[in-house]
Amino acid sequence: MFNNKSMLITGGTGSFGQAWVNYLLKKYKNIKRLVVFSRDELKQLEMSKIYSEKKYPCLRYFIGDIRDKERLISALADVDYVVHAAALKQIPTAEYNPIETIKTNIIGAQNLIEAALATNVKKVIALSTDKASSPINLYGATKLCSDKLLIAANNIKGQRDISFSIVRYGNVMGSRGSVIPNFIKFKEKGFLEITDTRMTRFNITLTESIKMVEWIFNNSLGGEIFVPKIPSYKIIDLAKAVCSTCKIKILGIRPGEKLHEELLTSSESVNTFETKDYYIILPMVNKIYSDFFSKKAKGKKVKKEFNYKSNENKFLSVNDLKKLLANY
C-alpha cells in the first residue's frame, strides 16, 4: 500500500514513531518519502544516526510542532498518509500543565485536521489511548476531545478524498515513559515502586501496534475507532516478572490514575462490531459500514451493554510476561 506513496508521522522520534519508521523502511522498499515530524532536534539527530538520509534517500527529518499549523501545512506538501502519534501523555505532567496539554493534544489535533484538509493527504490514522475511555485525568480527557475532533473531520471534508480514523489501545510494552523501563531501573536497587498491587493494565507490544496501524490503513473507511483484542496483566505480576526477589514499595494511586483501564464502554457497544482481532466502534450504524465490516472483515455486532475492561479480561501469567520482557 505504501510503495510509491509519501508518509508523515507526527511525534516521529517517539517509541512508536521509530518502530514504525523501521518497519516501513524494511517492508516497503519503494516508499516515495517518509517524513519524521517532531520538535526535538536532539532525538532527530540521534535517530538519523540509525536511519540516515544517505542510506535511506526517502527519509526526511522535519523539525516542527503540531501547535504550528503553518509548519504542518508545509510539512504535508505532497504527503499521502499521516500517522498522528504526537502527544503530551504523562499523566502527572498533564495534571500539572493543563493548558500546555490542551495546546498539544487538542489544538494540535485540530491544526493537523486543517492542514490535512488544506493539502492532498488521503488518510490520517491517529493514535489514541485507553485513558480516553471514561477519562478521569486531563490526558485522557484531551485525547477523548481530539478523537472527537478527528472523527468529526470526516463530516467537513466536502468532496476531498480523505478520511480520518482512530486507533485506541492500551499500554505499549516497553515504550518510553511506561512502567517497564522504570521497573528495570529500580531493579538494580533491589526494590520496585508500585502505586497499588490491585492494579491491572492492558498490554500491547510495539510489533502488534504497528501491524494494527498497517491493517487500519488498508481497511478503514473513516470515522471509526479501532480497538485491539489484547491481554491484560496485573501490575504485581509484572513486578515479579521483572524481579522476583525485589522488595515492593507501595506509593499509593497518583492523581488521575485508575485501578483498572477500559478500552470500550457499554455506551459505545451500540455502534460496535468485532472481528477476529479487533473491536471497531463505528461513527454510526448504517448499511455502508455494516456491510463493509461484516463482509470484508468478517465482523459481527457485539452484545448490548458489552464493555472491555482490563480487570475482566484474559491475563498474562508471570511466565508469559518474562517471555515478552526478554525482547526488551
Q: List C-alpha distances in Å: 92 to 88, 139, 215.
A: 11, 9, 33
Residues of the chain by 3-state class (helix, strand, coil), percent to 5: 40, 20, 40
Write down the catalytic residue from 89, 123, 131, 234.
131
Phi/psi at 169 (5° precision): -135, 175
Helical (H) or strand (E) element with 301: strand 300-301
Beta strand pairing call for 232-234 and 200-204: antiparallel
Burial, 200: exposed, middle or buried (Cβ in 10 Å; 0-12, 13-18, 19+)?
buried
CA 74 to CA 60: how far, in whole Å?
Answer: 13
Q: If you search the block for the grid coordinates 495534571, which residue do you land on?
A: 95
Residue 271: is it exposed, middle or buried by C-beta count within 10 angstroms (0-12/13-18/19+)? middle
Distance CA 328, CA 318 (A): 16
Verify whether residue 131 is a known catalytic residue. Answer: yes
Active site residues: 131
